[in-house]
Amino acid sequence: MSWLNLEQLLHPTGVPRPVALAPLLDHGELSRQALQLAAGLQRRGVRRLALYLEDAGLLAVALLGAWRAGVQVLLPADLQAQTRQRWLGEVDLWISEQPQDQSLQALFEAPLPAAELDLDKCQLSLCTSGSSGEPKRIDKQLRQLANEVVALEQLWGEDLGDACIIGSVATQHIYGLLFRVLWPLCAGRPFLRHQLPFPEDLQRASREHPAFAWVASPALLKRMGDNLDWPALSRVRRVFSSGGELPLSAARALQQRLQQWPTEILGSSETGGIAWRQADQPWQAFAGVHLSQNEDGALGIESPYLPAGHVEQSADAVAFTEDGRFHLLGRLDRIVKLEEKRISLPMLENALLDHPWVEDTRLAVIQENRASLGALLVLTRAGLHALRNQGRRAVTEALRTHLSQHCETLALPRRWRLLRQLPFNAQGKLPQAEVEALLLAPRPTGPEVISRELKEAELHLQLAVSADLAYFSGHFPQTPVLPGVVQVDWAIELGQALLDRPRRFAGMEVLKFQHLVRPGDTLDLDLRFDAERSKLYFTYRNGGVPCSSGRIVLEAPGE
């Protein structure tokens, strides 16, 4: 391995230097393609460019090529219509893998000569996720990113060595961009091109490399269960986590399985990295980062990753320790008012997390006839057991009683939604609009389709049965069971993909109910359509155990 500063990445190295894997991209090819792109952008007179490339290797080519051409780069958070409209007047060209945008390779021309990048003139704009309001643009000079990359290498480079960098987070945001692309590029560590959002994918990729490190989110690390090959994964050099605090229980589980604590990174699009920690230790500021506190107790940051002389004022309340480290006390911007009473949502969430039935939670204000709080909940195994054997009302009342020790009655959630997991996005953020939409939505009446495989006249599905399913409330309140008629209705609805034309229900044959379906179950549903007899065959299984089966007789309209 040989270190190259960020401004030197377009120069030839003279020695083989892998960049990206699957497929392979080496440093020489990276430089050649970047310089070809730079020529194409210059000839077309492009000055401002929007990039959205899920392939981290292509993103590296695009960034270096654009900077060599003197083009300002915007990394939008997504390619939704409203996102395009928001930045429409600020860019000359969109490059993505979408058919309506310009492809990277179509811009290539005879390459410009290699040159050192100007750290003060090259610019990058990042977009916040909009998790706490309207997305906004954050402008950075390349020097700020270069400073951070050097600091990361000084802190952890020796530990990582020649580890392959494997990431579960997107590269459109600061954490993924630095840890999955820019830092490995400078250090000469290969990185996988694509984001791997599931634990099984992370495991599969890790097994292919003798040395590897993970760039992950708390959302993924919390989902890494006993089904993984932990002895093989224990070769991981370091586990990074950012995008939110990792619960101590999840960090401890990783330490027991991997014999190392994950390394948590605190930062934001505005500030870059602020601090890091392991276990439940206080946060330690990165070298060169100076921290302060305003009169409200909020953290102020002065950093080489910010414009010189600028102090970024955050909304994070903190308490400093005697040695200059600090504890996070919650977001000041998540203190709400109900009937003129100030209520700290983080405080209530932490109180709920202390209950053995709660694995994860997020609270928000619901604006209906009168403002009140609502709670999204992910139950632990113990919580799911209580739900199955006591019912939904008993569980929510027990949690309200637990919370009443920490707050006034008006702060107790009036609406509860029980989820399999919180809807974190690829950056580990919970968009506020998503939280509010889930709280306002009616309870689900259908299953969550986890996977589906269609083969000729057969359809195989894996379904998650929501703990919050509306049908459980009346069947039966204290021992919720999925009604048989609902199972038949799901089979008919999901089986429409097999039918040759619309058909009406006409009857049932050999209907069997063998085992109960309960909240939180994961079901395998096999469907087969016999067009000649106009019969839809279905079988539900839970862990291989048959739950129900039968034949649904259908007739086409007009018959």
286/153 Cα distance (integer angstroms) = 12
**Tokens 């703990």 sit at which residue?**
467
CA distances from 380 to 356, 360, 444 (A): 7, 8, 20
Quote the tokens at residue 325.
Answer: 């480290």
Neighbours of 109 (CB within 10 A): 15
Q: Give every residue of the chain whose pLDDT is below 70, as ranges.
A: 1, 129-134, 426-427, 557-559
Give residue 438's pLDDT.
95
pTM of the entire predicted model: 0.74
Alpha helices in 367-526, H assignment, sequence order: 381-390, 392-403, 432-440, 484-494
Do 71 and 46 meet the contact criterion of CB atoms below 8 Å apart? yes
Give residue 260's pLDDT.
96
Rounded to 10°, the helix 345-353/392-403 angle is: 120
52/104 Cα distance (integer angstroms) = 11
Q: Which of 194, 327, 406, 475 is catalytic?
A: 475
Give residue 134's pLDDT.
62
Kind plus residue range of the DSSP H or E element containing 199:
helix 199-206
Q: Give CA 280 to chain center in angstroms.
A: 23
Nearest to 70 by CA among 118, 126, 106: 118
475 noted as active-site residue: yes
Contacts of 115 by beta carbon, 8 Å cutoff, 6+ apart: 10, 68
What's the Rg (C-alpha) of the chain?
Answer: 27
Give residue 427's pLDDT.
66
Q: Give CA 210 to chain center in angstroms.
A: 26
Q: What are phi and psi of 61, to 5 degrees?
A: -60, -45
Angle at 95 between CA 79 and CA 29, to 5 degrees: 130
The letter for the amino acid at 553 is V
Give residue 334's pLDDT.
82
The letter for the amino acid at 441 is A
Give residue 128's pLDDT.
77
Q: What is the pLDDT of residues 79-112, one digit of tens each?
A: 988 889 999 899 999 999 999 999 999 999 999 9
Give residue 558's pLDDT.
60
Q: Write the DSSP symbol of residue 311.
A: -
Strand partners, 536: 529, 552
Q: Give CA 34 to chain center in angstroms.
A: 29
Give residue 129's pLDDT.
59
Longest CA–CA span in the chain (Å) reads 82
DSSP secondary structure of 21-50: ETTTEEHHHHHHHHHHHHHHHHHHT--EEE
Give residue 382's pLDDT.
96
Give residue 426's pLDDT.
65
The letter for the amino acid at 9 is L
CA distances from 521 to 8, 224, 227, 516, 541 (A): 54, 19, 17, 10, 10
Do 169 and 197 meet the contact criterion of CB atoms below 8 Å apart? no
Kind plus residue range of the DSSP H or E element containing 258:
helix 248-258
Strand partners, 25: 20
Q: What is the pLDDT of residues 248-281, one digit of tens each?
A: 989 999 999 999 999 999 999 999 999 999 999 9
Give residue 57's pLDDT.
97
